Amino acid sequence: MIVVGAGPAGTTAARYCALAGLKTLVLEKQAVPRYKPCAGGVTLAAARELDFELPEVLIERKCRGLMIHYRTIEREVRLPETVALMVIRSSFDAHLSRKAEEAGAVLRDHTPCTGISVEREGVRVETEGEVLKTDVVIGADGFFSRVRRSLHLRFEPDEIRICALAEVPLPPDEIDRRFGDLVLIHYGYLSMGYAWIFPKKSHLSVGIGGACNRSGEVVEALRSFLSRHGLPTDVRIRGCFIPVSRWRTDLFFDRVLLTGDAAGLVDSFSGEGVKYAITSGRLAAQTVILAHGRGDFSTGLLQEYQSRLMATDGRELERSNRMTERLFSHENVLLGTAVRNVEVLERYLITVRGDSSFSEFVSWLKRSLPRYLLRRVLHFR
């Protein structure tokens, strides 16, 4: 089998397939490791989805809480336990690639996939130098997925978020003093999104993301955010797109499955993508293993992947879509009320850790928010 893309989704899928004894090839268009625009936060929920422990050398900082800003509101909340691990994304991806290779997968970097075509007896995978044939392909090649485009699929405008990011060097003692084990989140800069500061060992990952049609506005908003926090604005700024699926198309086709960002599996509220990349890669691999066992790579069997995904992560992501739209459609009333309350933030952190599902958090929030809103109204009387 062939996996296109060596990010978390692709390397997870490759590892599971190789461990099951399948001949597995991973195609990556660039060198491994390589830089990717990414805040570099791996939630504990995401780390728990791996079948191995992340080595301490990969972990830049362990964070236990949040500093939340919204208009004049400032809240700080932390848990006794680690909530998220700060990593360098290129090092994290390289480690996942090594784990896939240790399991028996073969990785070919500098080998971009230029197209695929599904034939009766298999899949024809084209690269810049050769044509490969395989029984099945897992597309894990990100927002600009060649596999997705080969299936004539595009993300719609309302499924796209835009981000701008910068790496800001700072002395470790200053990072410890200003941020310690907290991530800073600031709402109000862009619709359907937020600005952030993720502290690492000797630099900050600073960024902003949300719904916006003009990249120039996002860059200017990031510079404003940097200036507000006393950080240099003459840093290099990179951009990226984040896909937030509205589930308008299937993720399974004859002999092809889509995973991770190529499938739009990103949480619309938090921007979390790593967890869903890992789980979708594992579920895709398990489905491919089943297909090989039965010698059946048709949609009739591969739909098992989407059924299992929708029963878990898909349901969570759909609820996140609805919650995000409601919170931001009445931003001051709903989002403002939520971030004012430490209990809401603590419950959210428990979800980020993976100790509670997002669906459970949303159900609790729907029951609790009216009470908090009433308390807020009475406070201003």
Taking each helix axis as running N to C, give the angle between helix 274-294 and helix 8-19, from 0 to 180 degrees, rounded to the nearest 10.
30
In a domain, 73, yes or no: no
| Helix residue ranges, H only, the chain | 8-19, 44-47, 89-102, 146-150, 172-178, 215-228, 274-294, 299-309, 315-329, 336-340, 342-353, 358-379
How far is residue 240's CA from residue 52's CA, in Å, rounded to a whole number?
A: 29
| 173 and 254, same domain (yes or no) | no
| 35 and 123, same domain (yes or no) | yes
Q: Which of 139, 43, 33, 25 is nearest to 84 (CA)?
A: 43
| 172 and 228, same domain (yes or no) | yes
How far is residue 310's CA from residue 166's CA, in Å, rounded to a whole number?
A: 34
pLDDT (tens digit per residue) in 315-368: 999 999 999 999 898 888 888 888 889 999 999 999 999 999 988 998 998 888
Give per-residue burial for 11-34: e unless 16+ CB within 10 Å, then b. bbbbbbbbbbebebbbbbbeebbe
In a domain, 79, yes or no: no
| 164 and 109, same domain (yes or no) | no
| 216 and 348, same domain (yes or no) | no
In a domain, 72, yes or no: no
Last residue of a domain, one of 301, 321, 341: 321
In a domain, 212, yes or no: yes
Q: Which residues pair with 198 in a beta bridge?
A: 205
Mean pLDDT (whole number) for 257-261:
98
pLDDT (tens digit per residue) in 86-108: 999 999 999 999 999 999 999 99
In a domain, 78, yes or no: no
User: What pLDDT is stored for residue 377 in this prediction?
Assistant: 52
pLDDT (tens digit per residue) in 356-374: 998 899 899 888 888 777 6
| 286 and 169, same domain (yes or no) | no
| 317 and 333, same domain (yes or no) | no
Residue 99 token pair: 């784990």
Answer with the residue of higher pLDDT: 167 or 190: 167
180: left (phi over 0), alpha (psi -120 to 50) or beta: left
| 194 and 126, same domain (yes or no) | no
Output the CA–CA distances (angstroms, integers) from residue 112 to 5, 104, 173, 335, in the order listed. 9, 21, 42, 42
Examine the pLDDT at 210 and tell me if it is beyond 90: yes
Using DSSP, state whether 20 is helix, strand or coil: coil
In a domain, 317, yes or no: yes
User: What pLDDT is stored for residue 380 in this prediction?
Assistant: 46
pLDDT (tens digit per residue) in 26-69: 999 999 998 998 999 999 999 999 999 999 999 999 999 999 99
| 51 and 136, same domain (yes or no) | yes
User: What pLDDT is stored for residue 59 in this prediction?
Assistant: 98
Q: What is the CATH number of the domain that holds 95?
A: 3.50.50.60
| 359 and 236, same domain (yes or no) | no
Last residue of a domain, one of 243, 275, 310: 243
| 281 and 140, same domain (yes or no) | yes
Percent of the chain with pLDDT over 90: 85
Bridging pattern class, strands 65-70 and 182-187: parallel
Output the CA–CA distances (angstroms, integers) from residue 253 to 147, 148, 258, 356, in the order listed. 11, 11, 9, 32
The number of folded domains in the chain is 3
Please state which of the ranges 65-69, 173-177, 208-212 shows the lowest mean pLDDT: 208-212
Strands of the 59-63 sheet, one edge to the other: 41-43, 84-87, 59-63
| 313 and 336, same domain (yes or no) | no
Examine the pLDDT at 381 and tell me if it is beyond 50: no
Non-local CB neighbours of 70 within 8 Å, separated by 6+ positions: 186, 187, 188, 335, 336, 339
Question: Average pLDDT over the chain, rounded to whole?
Answer: 94
Residue 331 sits in which domain range? 326-379
In a domain, 239, yes or no: yes
Last residue of a domain, one of 199, 215, 243: 243
How far is residue 168's CA from residue 232's CA, in Å, rounded to a whole number?
A: 8
Q: What is the CATH number of the domain that holds 231?
A: 3.30.9.10
In a domain, 71, yes or no: no
